[in-house]
Amino acid sequence: MDIDSAPQTGIKAFVFDVFGTVVDWRSGVAREAQLFLKRHAPEIDASEFADAWRREYSPAMEEVRSGRRPYVRLDVLHRENLVKVLAHFGIANAPEPEIDELNLAWHRLDPWPDAVDALNRLKQRFIIAPLSNGNIRLMVDVAKRARLPWDAILGAEVVRAYKPSPRVYSETAEILAIEPRELCLVAAHNNDLAAARRVGLSTAFVLRPTEHGPAQTSDLKAEEAWDFVVGDLNQLATQLGCMQ
């Protein structure tokens, strides 16, 4: 069965940032970290630990984006970053198997409450896929746990580059055999959308005001005139005429 484009937009496929846009990484990582911290450092707040781990995310990817390091999958970067965070908090001598298991926290994240229903609605009319910096196995595990109904797994490992490198977006459109303007990136992050727009993709901003916890200060509004600006993914599906 052919996937028809929406007559009012010309969009044929929607791709999604995942961490923060589709799934709640902070709560999930903190939940998994709490079990580890109870054994090794019960005085450390699990959410603070999750935030510290996440702060290592972009600098680690920048080593790859800059060309200073060859591409390695995000699971590898997460594991290296975890070791740095353990050292930062003074946690020493944790068994390697426990560190490996904690690194899988990113594979066991829960979706935002609107995500699964909205993705199923959008899937009726459009190709849907992740466009994440997460590697393929990570995305598969998250999808299975959260029941995310992707048509394909796309993103950094497929093109061996990290967002916001331009070719992550442009090569994804090529993989799907559509024009950049026929591909819409959905993200809760203005910088991700700006990079996608620069190579011709359509854009949709979804508000996730607690991605970084109750004191979040970033991405609390659309900073440009994106093609769609919505409060949640069900609003996007409704605007596109996707039935409940």
For the chain, domain boundaries: 13-22+112-239, 26-107
pTM: 0.94
Q: Which residues of the chain fall below pLDDT 50?
A: 1-7
How much is the pLDDT for 9? 79
What's the CATH number of domain 26-107, 3.40.630.10, 1.10.150.240, 3.50.50.60, 3.40.50.300?
1.10.150.240
How much is the pLDDT for 229? 98
HEC states along 19-65?
ECCCEEHHHHHHHHHHHHHHHHCCCCCHHHHHHHHHHCHHHHHHHHH
How much is the pLDDT for 72? 98
How much is the pLDDT for 243? 86
Q: Are 182 and 126 in contact (CB under 8 A)?
A: no
How much is the pLDDT for 7? 46
Residue 89 to residue 40: CA distance in whole angstroms: 11
Classified by CATH at the fold level, domain 13-22+112-239 comes out as Rossmann fold (3.40.50)
